Amino acid sequence: MRELTCFFFSDYCSFVMKIRFAFPSRLRKKNFISSLSLLLVICAFLLLFLKFTVKYSITIETYGSTAGYNDIELLHRYNIDCNAIYEMEPAELGKSLVIRKQVVVEEQDKSLVNLISNCPRYLRSRGYGDVQVSEEEQAFPLAYSLVVHKSASMVEKILRAVYTPNNIYCIHYDLKSSELFRESMEGLARCLPNVFIASKLEAVTYASISRLNADLNCLSDLIGSKVKWRYVINLCGQDFPLRSNIELVADLKKLRGGNMMETSRPSEYKKQRFSFHHELQNASFEYHRLPVKTNKAKGPPPHGIQMFIGSAYFADITDLMSKTRLVKWNYLEGPLYPSCTGKHVRSVCIYGAGELRWLLNYGSWFANKVDAKVDPVLIQCLEDTLQEKQRLLVKAMKSQQKIPSSVLAVDVILQ
């Protein structure tokens, strides 16, 4: 048996589909080339078939007659089999690639603004009233700090994925964000009683103290909250949960009030961050301004202090093997984890649907990074999986039944 590998390339990823053929032991080179040509024809035909199928398979669920055209961005669903995606079935993975390349609905903050203009309609359409929680969750509320600056519909998806009525949520939006984005965040806080906007907002500059201040502003507000939360979890606009709330509470209880903090000695490269002065300069992409190193050296840290570096997130082991947040760096793909099936941005993988099984089975709490413009299928499958898992686990606990191991199996949940 030999394996021939057929590669489908898109702008953002490559998908590998292995097809097995039995060849005679003395296959001549001529016949091998003929067989290879036939295989390529089959691959091309399959790709065209998938392209045609996907084009006429997109379904729009409007959750009632009150949803308007501009709400499609939030409410549309792709006709995809998430169980087949989880099982890495080639045809369904190929279908997800075609969806990514051709029919991704463009994100517009106006969509969310329109939907949340009517809070009852919004809450009903997104199923906030259907969220179930156990007694254990009610006795162990969590707090969230969301520091965001763009893509209102993506922020809403993150909020919906981590939402329970007993938790408390602080949203800090960048003062430089668009008016529509700010309006959509204010609308979320207006519609959901346990969601609020930070009382002090920053004009955030990437990799500067303003990014830390944004989280600290939310923390200050959360400390004064009437909700007696047990842990704060800070998220950005490209994080997404990999565990249901009931699973997250169970894991956090095991910490017994402790935390997981990352610290290490800085590399020679990172030492430059505090050994030289930096100046804010205009950038040509989303962050507007970035701190850029100058040749002006700083003096040594006072009192002989030895510098260590940490993490932007409160609970983290390492960037390589994080329980709380799973990050995939392109230079570590292969030795530590499989190749990115999405897109690399500044050496970090924005995950694709081909990583659904790996993400759910790795054991981390959150994935960083996800983006609906890169792969909406992955986000839809994660949403469906977590909602169904939460429902089944709460139902089992309320009925005081022993939770069978099959309920915790992702492949069962996705069916």
Last residue of a domain, one of 259, 286, 304: 304
Would 247 be classed as within a structural domain? no
Residue 46 lies in a domain: no
Residue 314 domain-assigned (yes or no): no
pLDDT digits over 328-383, tens only?
777 677 777 788 988 888 788 999 999 999 999 988 899 989 998 899 999 999 99
pTM score over 0.85: no
**Which residue has 């089959």 as its token pair?**
42
What distance in Å separates the CA atoms of residue 239 and residue 286, rounded to the nearest whole number? 17
Tokens 């989303």 locate to 286
Is there a single domain that holds both residue 286 and residue 222?
no
Model pLDDT for residues 146-198, shown as the tens digit of each residue: 999 999 999 999 999 999 999 999 999 999 999 999 999 999 999 999 999 99
In a shared domain, residues 282 and 164:
no
**Domain's final residue, options 304, 324, 348:** 304
Residues 230 and 273 in one domain: no
Number of domains in the chain: 2
Assess whether 120 and 219 both reside in one domain.
yes
One domain for residues 218 and 296: no
For residues 233 and 272, state if they share a domain: no
Note down the domain range covering 273.
Answer: 268-304
> Are 285 and 182 in the same domain?
no
Q: Are residues 276 and 162 in the same domain?
A: no
The answer to whether the CB of 336 falls within 8 A of the CB of 320 is yes
User: Token pair for residue 399?
Assistant: 């009925």
If asked whether residues 132 and 204 sit together in one domain, one would say yes
Q: Are residues 113 and 226 in the same domain?
A: yes
Q: Is residue 89 part of a domain?
A: no
Write down which residue in 304, 320, 354 finishes a domain: 304
Is residue 273 located within the same domain as residue 226?
no
Nearest to 192 by CA among 221, 219, 216, 170: 170
pLDDT tens-digit profile, the chain (415 residues): 333 333 333 333 333 333 333 344 444 555 556 565 655 655 555 555 444 444 434 333 333 334 443 454 556 788 899 999 999 999 999 999 988 887 555 568 888 999 999 999 999 999 999 999 999 999 999 999 999 999 999 999 999 999 999 999 999 999 999 999 999 999 999 999 999 999 999 998 877 788 889 999 999 999 999 999 999 999 999 999 999 999 999 999 998 888 766 677 888 877 777 787 777 777 655 555 677 778 888 888 888 888 887 665 544 333 334 567 778 777 677 777 788 988 888 788 999 999 999 999 988 899 989 998 899 999 999 999 999 999 999 988 888 765 555 455 444 444 4
Does residue 82 sit within a domain? no
Sorted by sequence, the CB contacts under 8 Å of residue 390 that are 6+ apart come out as: 131, 132, 244, 245, 246
- Residue 371 located in a structural domain: no
C-beta of residue 244 within 8 angstroms of C-beta of residue 385? no
pLDDT of residue 29: 53
